Chain A
Amino acid sequence: MESKWRKIWGLIGLLLLNFVNNVSSLSLTITKVDCVYEIVRSEGDIVSGNFVVVDHHIFWSSDHPGIDFSITSPGGGILHNLKGTSGDKFSFKAPRSGLYQFCFHNPLSTPETIAFYIHIGHIPNEHNLAKNEHLDPINVKIAELREALEAVTTEQKYLKARDAVHRRTNESTKTRVIGYTVGEYILLTIASVLQVVYIRRLFSKSVGYNRI
């Protein structure tokens, strides 16, 4: 009876160990190349995440080449390679445990701000336990439920970042519309006044000249 209770508490403890939260949601300003590293504790963990380029040039040309993004596994192989993006989602099953590199490369010289979010999800399965321990299905189900909620959270972080970028574009459009229109009116008036002044001068000189 005592061993059964011990097993239950041990399993719950193991379950709680899986809830050591591997989440990071941050913004980073990159100049040339910047890498973020994460440790994946056991193979088979699902690594999911997303990143959005926040400081995307709101300038004259929208033909910014974008940011290159790559994921490197601990063995050195490149798992994922994206060129010229302004934000993307990724999700993969870690083939082995170890240190994973998430690298952003900025081809231009101006610094860009990137908001990224990485989540490593672990669901306990038979492989992790010792031989005489028994896996309680409720723990697996709770872990799956937790991972589903984390997937929703990951998506929400992505939406938040994209919403921030969209809001900046919107505000910039609003300022531009007002600013450029008022400037256009003023320039139009100045141009027409200059035209009138020029015509006056033209005719006053030439009239005087013709009279003579």
Chain B
Amino acid sequence: MNEGMVFGGRAACFLPIILVLCLTRNSNILPVAEGIWLTIPSSGTKCVSEEIQSNVVVLGDYYVIDENNPDHIPTISARVTAPFGNNLHHNENATHGQFAFTTSESGNYLACFWKDGSFQKDSELTLGVDWKTGIAAKDWESVAKKEKIEGVELVLRRLQGIVETIRGNLIYLRDREADMREVSEATNARVAWFSIMSLGVCIAVSVLQIWYLKRYFVKKKLI
């Protein structure tokens, strides 16, 4: 057992390297093609958005993919805006970039990309966007270092994080469903009441009409 621990200690120096290689998302050393690819049209902007709650970590990474001319990669500009218009990230004339922020309000967060005027060509551009929110954006490497856990335990800790996110999402969905049920029931009651009231308004108005016309004709001595 002693022997195993000594050798384990020596072999354990491999693990941080593997962890670093696996878990670095925003590094240009390892251009891992994660996330989705979008095409940016030659004119106009391409925007992606997500409805995010407050107090959620958002991590974004975008890079231009162009295999046609590797020596002159076209550049793009990017802008990330919060739901009420604040500018969270702005970048011009870049081939890659990254941004990270914690949401302060819940709403629609928008990331827009467009081609720069300097390299105007009629071709479309492929952009890789890696957008991570919540548990996917958590830095597991620092957690592993801080709490000194590694291997299977770290993996299981990640799974526990996912399970907690699932539970949080379920609670959110349940609350939303409760809100919507109240709105639906209120609308249902309103439809019934308003229809009966419109019948009442109709009858009242016609009674008023007849009463007024009768009074008018009597005044004019027609009846």
The answer to whether B3 touches A1 (Cβ under 8 A) is yes
Q: Mark B10-36, 1 if CB is under 8 A from A, else 0.
A: 111011001100110000000011111
Which residues of B are found within 8 Å of A125, using beta-carbon distances? Answer: none
Q: How many residues of A contact B (CB 8 A)?
A: 65
The answer to whether A28 touches B14 (Cβ under 8 A) is no
The answer to whether B180 touches A163 (Cβ under 8 A) is yes
Minimal beta-carbon separation of A119 from chain B (angstroms): 11
The answer to whether B48 touches A12 (Cβ under 8 A) is no
The answer to whether A207 touches B180 (Cβ under 8 A) is no
Q: Mark A119-154, 1 if CB is under 8 A from B, else 0.
A: 000000000000000000010001001100110110
The answer to whether A21 touches B34 (Cβ under 8 A) is yes
Which residues of B are found within 8 Å of A177, using beta-carbon distances? Answer: 187, 190-191, 194
Q: Counting CB contacts under 8 A, is B92 at the interface? A: no
Q: Counting CB contacts under 8 A, is B222 at the interface? A: yes
The answer to whether A164 touches B37 (Cβ under 8 A) is no
CA gap between A196 and B132 in the complex, in Å = 67
CA gap between A7 and B157 in the complex, in Å = 22
The answer to whether A145 touches B209 (Cβ under 8 A) is no
Q: Mark A3-30, 1 if CB is under 8 A from B, else 0.
A: 0011011101101110111111111110
Which residues of A are found within 8 Å of B133, using beta-carbon distances? Answer: 25
The answer to whether B7 touches A16 (Cβ under 8 A) is no
Other 6 A-B pairs with CB < 8 A, given A146-B159, A170-B180: A12-B151, A13-B19, A20-B32, A21-B136, A146-B162, A152-B166
The answer to whether B159 touches A9 (Cβ under 8 A) is no
Chain A residues packing against B (C-beta within 8 Å) = 1-2, 5-6, 8-10, 12-13, 15-17, 19-29, 34-39, 99, 118, 138, 142, 145-146, 149-150, 152-153, 156, 159-160, 163-164, 166-167, 170-171, 173-174, 177-178, 181, 184-185, 188-189, 192, 195-196, 199-200, 203-204, 207
The answer to whether B212 touches A196 (Cβ under 8 A) is yes
Known contacts A6-B11, A196-B212; is A189 also within 8 Å of B205 by CB? yes
The answer to whether A188 touches B202 (Cβ under 8 A) is yes
Which residues of A are found within 8 Å of B179, using beta-carbon distances? Answer: 167
In the complex, chain B residues 147-193 whose Cβ is within 8 Å of any chain A Cβ: 150-152, 154-156, 158-159, 162-163, 165-166, 169-170, 172-173, 176-177, 179-180, 183-184, 186-187, 190-191
5 closest pairs, A vs B, by CB? Answer: A13-B18, A37-B37, A5-B11, A181-B194, A2-B7
CB-nearest residue of chain A relative to B65? Answer: A37
Minimal beta-carbon separation of B150 from chain A (angstroms): 8
The answer to whether A192 touches B155 (Cβ under 8 A) is no
CA gap between A196 and B210 in the complex, in Å = 9
The answer to whether B136 touches A156 (Cβ under 8 A) is no
The answer to whether A174 touches B206 (Cβ under 8 A) is no
The answer to whether B222 touches A138 (Cβ under 8 A) is no
Which residues of B are found within 8 Å of A138, using beta-carbon distances? Answer: 152
CB-nearest residue of chain A relative to B132? Answer: A21
Q: In the complex, which of the residues A17, A39, A188, A207 contacts B33, with contact meaning CB atoms closer than 8 Å?
A: A39
The answer to whether A1 touches B4 (Cβ under 8 A) is yes
CA gap between A2 and B7 in the complex, in Å = 6
Known contacts A21-B34, A28-B48, A195-B209; is A207 also within 8 Å of B169 by CB? no
